[in-house]
């Protein structure tokens, strides 16, 4: 099983804290890999909020090709963080040339473009780099987005953290999502590693998605740029979230209604019965069967957790104003925020979405049986 840990903090914190919390839960994962998503960055990235940050792993040749490619497009490097690693990695971690985290200034020609257009271009460029990398096996790119850093590697999470020296002072973020144990069902491929990211939406998941095939088929046939890959059955959760917001224009409260719609008895009593009945029908191919616990992050820095209908995976949310964490297990939460009011801990059940807003003041719970805020 995988283990998940995420926090949202007023103060930027090092990812090492999230990995330590994962380590407390190590009985629940096999230490086969780690994935990190960092947003609302601190340190040197604090003043570069509008600059897209490229995160990935490159060979020497790959890096050369990347530089040429981005320079040709008119990107200028604004800041780079080099992660130098010892020549010989510990056992279980592959040898890499460079883990790249680099902030760019967008081409001048983009200045007058609307934000949506810029976002679309950033996505297309990331996908093109991915394609180039796959052709020559020299580049792996996780994200190319403002205020977002992603790191993924195979190996024991703590060992990877020490090897990459992730405890360094200049690598901090206010929101971090971390996942231990990477996807072993479809062969280890870094593109199959959680968390998954698309245009500002990120998710990571615990559990196997048994309805993966029809969901994948459906997403692939939407004709939406970025709905691709699917080396992992969990990637679809990020794309369904993206679809909920960007295509359907719905909010986070609707996400759970798409993943696991209400059943007939509750649907009949719901104040938005008509709408939800139609949503259930039209989005039927996106219904998950779980068992899955999904933790996700929205472009507006909200962090949330939802469970599938069966609620067979663990998940708990707790904290104190200014610092909240989402964890697979209580022990992870205890290790990270021992001084919280534990009576306010919340374990989302089959109807719940637990949300912490960007103000980080409380855990908001939204039940599927409640009235749905609909866009006008």
Partner 1 sequence: MSSNTKITPSSLSKKDLPWQIEWDNDKCSFCGQCTSVCPMKAIKMSVSRKRMMNLSLGSGVKPSNSYETFQTIMQNTTSENACIGCAMCTQVCENHAIMPVKSDEPSKLAYHVNQGGNASTRGGRRKSNTPGVLDQIKFLRISMLTDPALDAGRHEFEMNTLLGRVLPPEENIKLLKENGWIPPVREIYPLVIGGMSFGALSPTMWEGLQMGVSYLNEEMGMPVRMCTGEGGCPPRLLRSKFLKYVILQIASGYFGWDEIIRSIPEMVVDPCAIEIKYGQGAKPGDGGLLMWHKVNKLIAAIRGVPEGISLPSPPTHQTKYSIEEAVAKMIQSMSMAWGFRVPVYPKISASSTALAVLNNIARNPYAAGLAIDGEDGGTGAAYSVSMNHMGHPIASSIRDSYLTLTKLGKQNEIPLFGGGGIGKNGNLAANAAALIMLGASGIQIGKYVMQAAAGCIGSEKDRCNICNVGKCPKGITSQDPRLYRRLSPEKVAERVVDFYLSFDMEIRKIIAPLGRSTSLPIGMSDAVGINDYHAAKRLNIKYVV
Verify binding: residue 212, partner 1, rule CB under 8 A.
Answer: yes
**DSSP letter, residue 346:** B
Verify binding: residue 309, partner 1, rule CB under 8 A.
Answer: yes
Size of the site for partner 1 (CB under 8 A): 37
| CA 312 – CA 40 distance, rounded (Å) | 31
What DSSP line would sit under 179-219, residue for residue?
A: EES---SS---GGGSSSEEETTEEEEEES--TTHHHHHHHH
Q: Which of 82, 137, 210, 369 binds partner 1 (CB under 8 A)?
A: 210
Taking CA atoms, 306 is separated from 81, 97, 142, 341, in Å, by 34, 37, 24, 22
Q: Which stretch binds partner 1 (CB under 8 A): 74-82, 99-107, 163-171, 242-250?
A: 242-250
CB of residue 205 to partner 1, shortest distance in Å? 12
Structural contact between residues 105 and 71, judged by C-beta atoms closer than 8 angstroms: no
Instruction: Indicate the residue among 12 and 180 with the shorter CB distance to partner 1.
Output: 180
| CA 129 – CA 133 distance, rounded (Å) | 6
Instruction: Indicate the residue among 74 and 249 with the shorter CB distance to partner 1.
Output: 249
Helices and strands counted in the chain (H then E): 10, 16
Verify binding: residue 339, partner 1, rule CB under 8 A.
Answer: no
Instruction: Indicate the residue among 147 and 233 with the shorter CB distance to partner 1.
Output: 233
Instruction: Indicate the residue among 64 and 284 with the shorter CB distance to partner 1.
Output: 284
Q: Which of 274, 300, 341, 359 binds partner 1 (CB under 8 A)?
A: 274
Q: Which of 218, 245, 304, 336 binds partner 1 (CB under 8 A)?
A: 218
Q: Which of 67, 159, 289, 362 binds partner 1 (CB under 8 A)?
A: 289
Verify binding: residue 300, partner 1, rule CB under 8 A.
Answer: no
Verify binding: residue 334, partner 1, rule CB under 8 A.
Answer: no
Verify binding: residue 222, partner 1, rule CB under 8 A.
Answer: yes
Verify binding: residue 312, partner 1, rule CB under 8 A.
Answer: yes
Verify binding: residue 240, partner 1, rule CB under 8 A.
Answer: no
| CA 74 – CA 329 distance, rounded (Å) | 46
Instruction: Indicate the residue among 82 and 184 with the shorter CB distance to partner 1.
Output: 184
Instruction: Indicate the residue among 84 and 371 with the shorter CB distance to partner 1.
Output: 371
Is 257 exposed, middle or buried (CB count within 10 Å of its CB: 0-12, 13-18, 19+)?
buried
358, 9, 198, 128: CA torsion to nearest 10: 130
Instruction: Indicate the residue among 310 and 342 with the shorter CB distance to partner 1.
Output: 310
Phi-psi region of 62 (alpha: psi -120 to 50; beta: other; left: phi over 0): alpha
| CA 141 – CA 340 distance, rounded (Å) | 37
Verify binding: residue 225, partner 1, rule CB under 8 A.
Answer: no
Span 158-187, contacts to partner 1 by CB under 8 A: 185
Q: Which stretch binds partner 1 (CB under 8 A): 3-11, 139-147, 281-289, 324-332?
A: 281-289
* Range list of β-strands (E), the chain: 3-13, 33-41, 52-58, 76-83, 98-105, 139-146, 148-154, 173-180, 196-198, 201-206, 293-297, 303-307, 316-320, 323-327, 352-356, 363-367
Instruction: Indicate the residue among 133 and 291 with the shorter CB distance to partner 1.
Output: 291
CB of residue 96 to partner 1, shortest distance in Å? 29
How long a stretch of residues is the chain? 376
Verify binding: residue 291, partner 1, rule CB under 8 A.
Answer: yes
Verify binding: residue 207, partner 1, rule CB under 8 A.
Answer: yes
CB of residue 314 to partner 1, shortest distance in Å? 13
| CA 255 – CA 237 distance, rounded (Å) | 10
Verify binding: residue 279, partner 1, rule CB under 8 A.
Answer: yes
Taking CA atoms, 63 is separated from 57, 71, 84, 102, 132, in Å, by 9, 12, 14, 12, 11
- The C-alpha angle 282, 183, 328, rounded to 5 degrees, equals 80
Interacting residues with partner 1 (CB under 8 A): 185, 207-208, 210-214, 217-218, 221-223, 247-250, 260, 263, 274-275, 278-279, 281-285, 287-291, 308-310, 312
């Amino acid at each position: 099983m995988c283990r998940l840990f995420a926090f949202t903090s007023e103060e930027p914190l090092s990812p090492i804290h999230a990995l330590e919390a994962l380590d407390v839960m190590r009985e629940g994962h096999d230490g086969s890999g780690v994935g990190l998503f960092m947003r609302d960055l601190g340190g040197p990235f604090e003043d570069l909020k509008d600059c897209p940050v490229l995160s990935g792993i490159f060979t020497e040749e790959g890096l050369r090709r990347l530089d040429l490619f981005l320079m040709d497009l008119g990107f200028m490097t604004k800041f780079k963080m080099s992660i130098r690693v010892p020549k010989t990695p510990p056992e279980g971690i592959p040898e890499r040339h460079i883990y790249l985290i680099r902030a760019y200034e967008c081409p001048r020609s983009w200045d007058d473009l609307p934000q949506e257009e810029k976002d679309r271009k950033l996505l297309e460029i990331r996908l093109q780099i991915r394609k180039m990398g796959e052709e020559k096996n020299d580049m792996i790119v996780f994200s190319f987005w403002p205020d977002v850093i992603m790191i993924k590697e195979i190996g024991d999470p703590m060992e990877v953290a020490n090897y990459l020296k992730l405890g360094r002072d200049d690598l901090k973020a206010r929101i971090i999502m971390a996942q231990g144990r990477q996807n072993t069902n479809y062969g280890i491929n870094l593109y199959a590693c959680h968390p998954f990211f698309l245009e500002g939406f990120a998710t990571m998941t615990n559990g196997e998605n048994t309805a993966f095939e029809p969901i994948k088929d459906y997403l692939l046939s939407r004709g939406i740029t970025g709905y691709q890959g699917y080396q992992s059955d969990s990637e679809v959760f990020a794309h369904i979230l993206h679809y909920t917001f960007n295509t359907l224009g719905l909010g986070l409260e609707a996400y759970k209604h798409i993943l696991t719609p209400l059943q007939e008895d509750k649907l009949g009593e719901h104040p938005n019965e008509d709408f939800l009945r139609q949503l259930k029908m039209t989005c039927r191919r996106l219904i998950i069967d779980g068992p899955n616990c999904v933790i996700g992050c929205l472009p507006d820095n909200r962090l949330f957790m939802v469970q599938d209908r069966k609620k067979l995976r663990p998940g708990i949310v707790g904290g104190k104003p200014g610092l909240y964490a989402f964890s697979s297990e209580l022990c992870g939460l205890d290790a990270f925020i021992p001084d919280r009011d534990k009576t306010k801990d919340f374990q989302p059940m089959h109807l719940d979405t637990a949300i912490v807003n960007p103000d980080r003041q409380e855990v908001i719970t939204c039940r599927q049986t409640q009235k749905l805020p609909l866009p006008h």
